[in-house]
Amino acid sequence: MTRTLFTRPQPEPALVAQAGGWHAESVTTPDVLVMAGQVYCYVGAVTGGHERIVGFPLPADVFQPPVAMGGSPARLAIDVGPPGSFDGDHVMDPATVVTAERVLLYYSAIGPGPDSIGLATSLDGVTFVKCPHRVLVGRAPEIIKCGQCFCLLYVRATRAGGYAIHLARSTDGVRFDAVSDRPVFDAGRAGSWDAYSVTTPRVFGRGSYYYMVYAGDNRTRDEPRAFGLARSRDCLSWTRYAGNPVFRCGEPRSWDDGAIWFGTVFEWHDTLYLFYEGASGAALRSPRGASAVGVALCSGAAFDRSMDDWRGG
């Protein structure tokens, strides 16, 4: 397989479904929050036919490969709403940001009507209270504080049948306005690896840029085979990295050889960790196929050297 920027430190996932827990059937869509020196992880947890969001702290020793995240008990952060509500079937795809007063957690809300994005707030990153109404129509949110604005990236279906990435802005983190009906980041040029669909954006700041890890594919809407990288100074105008893709599905017959989503990057002790959801091809073909959360690594120095030779694609 072609070498990529992020590499796997281990052949097995870092977090798998656990019988008897909130994620008894599947574990999905990781998000990481670093607050006051503590690392929190939020994931989608599937059991009983519904997806919910759970959270748990990650102790420092978990980052020594092999990374295993199942040692901390998961606590329910956001449950589905009552039947008939906009998030009455599933809540998933957590995306968090810290303000001076609280933690804001945005999520995909699935229920009657269009796919939507909901919001819940917390004073401690553990106990959350949901806002009663959807934030906007879309799914797969990512949130970043850009200057004085909250920038909310999310995906909507394209006329061609794939996904594209849109942007909305807010001054208070609650009321958002889309910057345009057009996406800020669309599928790649014809014949490229991401020519049909780009989805599940995750953003991290480094130096003077915001970097977006996105999932893409040239055949399917929502079974992406690789992650690409793009960067921006304002979260509005994005330039692709010429070295894309920066991470791919696993080798045949591995646990993540089918699809990967939500490449969440954060720095810990000079290493960039990439947590992601993955599934095997067999799981994708199964009615109750399970996803797991994997990990990949890149040293901060190696990442910076690659970005110095950006050559936008």
Q: What percent of the chain has pLDDT over 70?
A: 98
Cβ atoms 86, 111 nearer than 8 A? yes
pLDDT band at 73 (very low <50, low <70, confident <90, very high): confident
d(CA 112, CA 84): 6
**pLDDT tier, 171 (very low <50, low <70, confident <90, very high otherwise):** very high
Residue 161 falls inside a structural domain: yes
Domain-embedded: residue 273? yes
88-97, 154-163, 215-224, 282-291: segment of lowest average pLDDT: 282-291
The pLDDT, as a whole number, for residue 75 is 93
**Per-residue pLDDT reduced to its tens digit, 94-147:** 999 999 889 999 999 999 999 999 999 999 999 999 999 999 999 999 999 988
Q: Assess contact for 111 and 280: CB atoms under 8 A.
A: no
Which residue range(s) make up the domain with 292? 26-308
How much is the pLDDT for 237? 97
**pLDDT higher than threshold 90 for residue 54:** yes
Burial (CB count within 10 angstroms: exposed 0-12, middle 13-18, buried 19+), residue 151: buried
Backbone angles phi, psi at 15, to 5 degrees: -150, 130
pTM for the model stands at 0.96
Lowest mean pLDDT across 6-10, 22-26, 53-57: 22-26
Reply yes or no on whether the pLDDT at 313 is more than 60. no
Query: What's the pLDDT tens digit per position in 221-250?
Result: 999 999 999 999 999 999 999 999 999 999
Judged against a pLDDT cut of 70, whether residue 31 lies above it is answered with yes
Q: Are 235 and 271 in contact (CB under 8 A)?
A: no
Q: Determine the distance from the C-alpha atom of residue 207 to the mean position of all C-alpha atoms in its chain, rounded to a whole number.
A: 21
**Alpha-carbon dihedral angle through residues 114, 186, 277, 270, given to the nearest 10 degrees:** -130
Element (H, E) at 152: strand 149-157
Residue 12 domain-assigned (yes or no): no
Structure tokens at 144: 């970043």
Beta-carbon count within 10 A of 179 CB? 14
Is beta strand 226-232 parallel, antiparallel or unpaired with respect to 239-240?
antiparallel
Residue 18 domain flag: no
> Is the distance from CB of 158 to CB of 210 less than 8 angstroms?
no
| 2 has pLDDT over 70 | no
Q: What is the CATH number of the domain that holds 101?
A: 2.115.10.20
pLDDT band at 286 (very low <50, low <70, confident <90, very high): confident
Asked if residue 8 is part of any domain, the answer here is no
In percent, how much of the chain has pLDDT > 90?
A: 87
C-alpha 2/C-alpha 259 separation (Å) is: 17
Cα 25 versus chain centre, distance: 19
Over residues 266-271, mean pLDDT: 93
Domain count, the chain: 1
Domain membership flag for residue 107: yes
**Is residue 148 in some structural domain?**
yes
DSSP state for residue 277 in the 8-state scheme: E
Q: Name the DSSP letter for residue 63.
A: G
Q: Is 170 helix (H, G, I), strand (E, B) or coil?
A: strand
pLDDT at 193: 97
Mean pLDDT of 28-32: 97
Say if 186 falls within a structural domain: yes
